[in-house]
A and B are shown apart, each in its own frame.
Chain A
């Protein structure tokens, strides 16, 4: 199962937020989407999880054009961890995770035994099982992100998209969350702000600027001094990570260096 964006274009109020974006994510692969604020990363993701209808172009999972599927059908293929994780009602953690099964169930149909087991196992794997009866509003940021990830995983998606999942997390939780994504099974498309984390976590990286894909490739191919200067307007020194060899960016606050 793979995810293919084909010449995806989103125009709102005559402004082109995403322009002819083509990108592919293979099964089991983690592809990062990076770019400055307002470059269209979230807009592109929203088309994948059906919160937005593309103006032109298609989003395909295998050969299914998502916009031709009912929302329920496409929610069985694509799960999302979105930025509007804010919850007003005090659902318990297990209730929130169980809602991940919604696209597989009719109306108020209760979860089957196998589905309850799946929820329990997933919560155990993510280390949130002890929180099952806690209210979602009482959790810390790191716990909440893991709950939302668990909800997305019990959806049993073929494609998982995440919009800045490491926001508001301390460094340990950032690394833990990205480690969970590697080998999570489905094709993963993730928007990240931290280029160093993107280099460490992603098999491939796509760089967006003003709605257009500037380049895509392995972290080594993409993250160069020139590209970072072009797209982000920042001077960076790129060095290989001494242990993993991933490219890592070092910044200087001194404009002359």
Chain B
């Protein structure tokens, strides 16, 4: 595309004896002659194909498992019948109902939210240049909780029927984001550190508001609602909300992936990004709006599921390196697989009761994460 009429003429530095790296005399280097071994990185398309296959398999298996176990074979048949308008035996009607009406939307929602949270985690860590950032660092989850609980207690938004609580959560999430941006903007610029600090402070504020609401509401509904929203879960999944969530999350995934190189540049620092043709402030604002919308929608349908958005990005970077276009291709698939299994565990381990999803994601993920961090030569934010 761009011609190279005259590459910059740079004289070679006078070659010192031995490879230049050695003369630096810093930390111990690879021995002379043996080039330092690059970490093996599997092919991107292979990795995507494999994880997509695993995801498909996981979805089918997870739909089959539950109080009534349905074989993957039968599950596939029912799904096929539902998708193509085929028919099933009258004897199988109950099993079909369970598969199609109850479990399929739930598993699909888990996959979508897992994918979305992972991708948002990748983006937000680059945007605020902080390894500990997750999708909820900007106060989105506690804002959503306040919105949901507020709607439940006051009975507001009744016109929206069953979607009132989700709508309240979404409104709360967006209000929280707007508040965080407004409070952290200085002269129209958004400093990453200021964003994180403001987000943390406002989250604490929202939690206080929530406590007050619950204290005065003395309503067990509200207490349950708070627990649901802070731990997350897919118990409320239905076909009704799925199309909207699917459209938003898939569009968000595509848009984020297309910003891969811009995220690379932003993670190198604002000065560097500017010198390489990206206006850091404008790009960060646009991406934060996108990320907040995505997170708001996901929180509205599933609560604040901790840990996935924090850890999946790190896990995937260990596999494919730091380049965001690669990370954002793989992270949604891996996150979706993880969430499908986590949700399966939450609804089957102590059936008929459900374990809070957030507890499972943390119990499974934290030890895995720490092990990985300790084992691999993985660095984020320096040595």
Contacts and interface: CB of A to CB of B under 8 A. Distances in A.
Interface of A: 46, 49-51, 70-76, 78-80, 82-92, 95-96, 99-100, 102-105, 107-108, 112, 114-115, 118, 121-122, 125-128, 130-131, 133-135, 137-138, 140-143, 152-153, 155-157, 172-173, 176, 179-180, 182-186
A102 B11 CA distance: 24
B19 A130 contact: yes
Interface stretch (B23-31, B162-170, B236-244): B23-31
Contacts of B260: 107-108
Contacts of A86: 269
B203 to A, nearest CB: 23
Q: Which residue, B36, B129, B271, B382, has most C-beta atoms of chain A within 10 A?
A: B271
Nearest to B7: A118
A207 to B, nearest CB: 24
A143 B6 CA distance: 25
Interface residues of B, number: 59
A100 B277 CA distance: 10
Nearest to A80: B275
A224 B107 CA distance: 77
A186 to B, nearest CB: 6
Interface of B: 1-2, 4, 6-16, 19-21, 23-27, 35-36, 38, 126, 129, 131, 257-261, 264-265, 267-272, 274-279, 317, 321-323, 325, 377-383
B21 A82 contact: no
A84 B271 contact: yes
B8 A91 contact: no
A86 B12 CA distance: 26
Given A71-B278, A95-B321, A102-B277, A90 B378 contact: yes
26 contacts: A49-B271, A49-B274, A51-B275, A71-B279, A72-B277, A72-B278, A74-B277, A80-B272, A89-B322, A92-B321, A95-B264, A95-B323, A99-B261, A99-B265, A102-B261, A107-B260, A108-B257, A121-B7, A127-B15, A138-B379, A140-B24, A172-B16, A172-B23, A176-B13, A180-B13, A183-B11
A105 to B, nearest CB: 7
Contacts of B268: 87, 96, 99
Contacts of A107: 258-261
Contact of A75 (B126, B269, B276, B317): B276
Contacts of B279: 50, 71
Given A72-B277, A89-B126, A172-B16, 8 more contacts: A49-B275, A82-B269, A91-B322, A107-B259, A127-B12, A134-B38, A143-B20, A173-B24
